[in-house]
Amino acid sequence: MQNLGRTTRSNRTLVMIISGLILLFVLYSFSSQFFYFFEQVEEQEVGVKFRSGRITDIVGPGVYSDVGLFVQMRRVSSEAVVFTVTDEELITKDKQRIGLVVTGDVFRPGVVDRETLRSLWAQYNQLYLDDTIARKAIEDRARQAMKVCVGDRIFDEAVIGAARDQLRDCIDTELDKLAKNYGLNIQNIAVPDVILLPDAQARLDEIVQSRLQTEKAKQDELRAKAEAAAEQARQEGEIRVAQSRIQEESRQQKTLAELERQKIESQKAVIEAERANELARVEAGLAIIQAEKNNELTAAQLDLEIQVARAKAATEQAKADLAPEIAKAELYATSPGYLQYQIAQANASALNGNDKIIFTPEGSAPTIVIPGPGIVPTIETAGQAVVDK
C-alpha cells in the first residue's frame, strides 16, 4: 500500500514536471515573438530584421537584440551556392545533337543590395533562405540558357576550339539575365565537358581531320613560303652585306679624304696665321716708328711753338719796356722846345761843383792839355775866352 502511494506521488511529480516544461515551451514560443537577444549574424551572412511582418533593417555581421511586437531576425547566407547542370539533348542550328555540362556559382543579395532584398523578399525569400531551392531554380534557368545558346550556333561553333569559349560567354550572359529577375548573381560559369553522340563524334572527327589536313596544307604552304622567304632573305642579306661593305669602304675613303682636306686646311690656316702674325709684327713696328716720328715731330712743333711764344712774349715785353722811351722820343720829335729843355735839364743835372764848362765855336773841337810836371794847364781857345770854374 505504501509502495502504491509512493508510485502515485512519483507519477504526479513527473506529470507536473512535464506539464511545466510544456508550459514553459508554450510561453517561450509565444513570448519569442516579442523579443530576441544576442542574435549573432556571422561573417558570411546578412541579417534581415522584421517587426510586425515588415523588414525594418538589413544588417551585416554582428550581434543584435530587439524588443517589440512580433520581432524576428532572419539570416541570409552570402556564400556561393555551387550548381552543376547536365543536358544531353541540345540541338544545334544545323540539327546536330550534343550535350553540355555547365557549372557555376550563385550568390544571393548582400548588405550592399538592401533594396533588392526589400523589394524581392516577399516573392523569393525561399531562394534566399534555402540553398536547395536556389540551386534548383538556377539549374532550370541554366538549361534554358544552354538551349538558347546552342540553338543559335552550328555544330562547329559549339564544340570546336575557341568557339566553346564563345558558347560559355553566351550561357553566362543569358543565365545572368535570368538570375537578375530573382536578385541572384551568377559567377564563374564554365563548360567543362561537351557530350557527343557517336554520329556527332564521327562528324567531329571528320571535321577535326579535315581541319588538320587544311592546317597541314596551310602549314606546308607557309613553310614553303617561309623557306622561299628565308632564301630570299639570305640572298638579300648577302647583297646587303656586299653593299654595306662597298658603302663602308666608300664612307671610309670619304672620311679619309675629308680628314686630308681638313689637314690641308689646317696647315693653310697655320701658314695664313703665321703670315698674318708676321704682317701684324711689321705693321706694329711701322706703327711704333711712325708713333716715334710723330712724337718727335710733335715735340719739335711744341718746341717751335714755345720759342715763337717766347719771342712774341719778349717782343711784347720789349715793347712794354721801351714804351716810355718811345713816348718820350715821339714827344721830343713833336716838341723841339721841350727837347731842348730836357737837354738843358740833363746837362744841368750832369754838372757838379768841380765841373768846368768849355764853350767852343760850332764846328770846332777844343784842345785839352793834360797837366803834368812842368806843364801849366792851358787851353787854347783860338781867341775865345776861357772861363774856369
d(CA 251, CA 228): 33
Q: Is the pLDDT of residue 2 over 70?
A: no
Q: Long-range pairs for 115-124 at CB < 8 Å and ≥24 separation?
A: 116/183, 117/46, 117/48, 117/55, 117/58, 117/76, 117/183, 118/55, 118/58, 119/183, 120/182, 120/183, 121/48, 121/55, 124/182, 124/183
Q: How confident is the model at residue 204 (pLDDT cuts 50, 70, 90)?
A: low
State the pTM of this model.
0.45
Check pLDDT > 50 for residue 259: yes
Percent of the chain past pLDDT 90, that is, above it, reads 16
Q: What is the structure's pLDDT at 356? A: 64
Cα three-residue angle 349-353-356, rounded to 5 degrees = 85
In angstroms, the CA 16 to CA 105 distance is 53
pLDDT tens digit sequence for 119-178: 999 899 999 989 999 999 999 999 999 999 988 888 877 766 677 888 889 999 999 999
- Residues linked to residue 73 through DSSP beta bridges, in sequence order: 49
Integer Cα distance of 262 and 384 in angstroms: 124
Classify 80-196 by CATH class: alpha beta
Q: Which of 53-57, 147-151, 208-212, 318-322 has the lowest mean pLDDT?
A: 208-212
Domain coordinates in residue numbering, the chain: 2-75, 80-196
